[in-house]
Amino acid sequence: SRRYMVPLLLGGMTDGSYPSTRLEYVTRILDDSDLIGTTGVDDVEVGRVNRLSQNSPNPFNPSTSIRYSVGKNGAMVRMHVYDVAGRCIATVLDETGQAGVHVVHWNGRDDDGRPVASGIYFCRLSVDAWSATRKMVLLK
């Protein structure tokens, strides 16, 4: 058997957010420590470490942080936010990325700078041919 030590601050996660349920707390620990993905399915392919973590906080208002990692230097990295109808409402990233772990912030606004309505949105990260999607909830 293996033992894992996960650094936690009393009362919250290491990023300063507070999970709303016990299940979310355990899921965030496992997801943030790369033991499992939030779906229970490993996102990592052999030799690659592209990854999209769940945004924090979630639900959020008015902005949220999104942690992701890129497996190799020079990869094309794109991150878009979609509404439930599948329309791209915001481009968060569109650049050549560097390997490593990164954090971006989305301010809850569309590409024209208008605040979006409360609801469910999807964050999609694409690194070259690899991609992953996470559900985000904006509550006002």
Q: Tens digit of pLDDT for each residue in 56-111?
A: 999 999 999 999 999 999 999 999 999 999 999 999 999 998 999 999 999 999 99
* % of the chain exceeding 90 in pLDDT: 64
Q: State yes or no: pLDDT of 2 exceeds 90.
A: no
- Judge whether 64 and 57 are in contact, CB under 8 Å: yes
Given this model, what pLDDT does residue 38 score?
45
Specify the 3-state DSSP secondary structure of 54. coil
> Angle at the Cα of 126 (from 95 to 117), degrees rounded to 5?
90
Q: How far apart are CA 9 and CA 105, in angstroms?
A: 22
d(CA 90, CA 116): 10
Cis ω for the linkage preceding 7 (within 30 of 0): no
C-alpha 89/C-alpha 122 separation (Å) is 10
What sign does the CA torsion over 51, 99, 64, 56 have? positive
pTM over 0.85: no
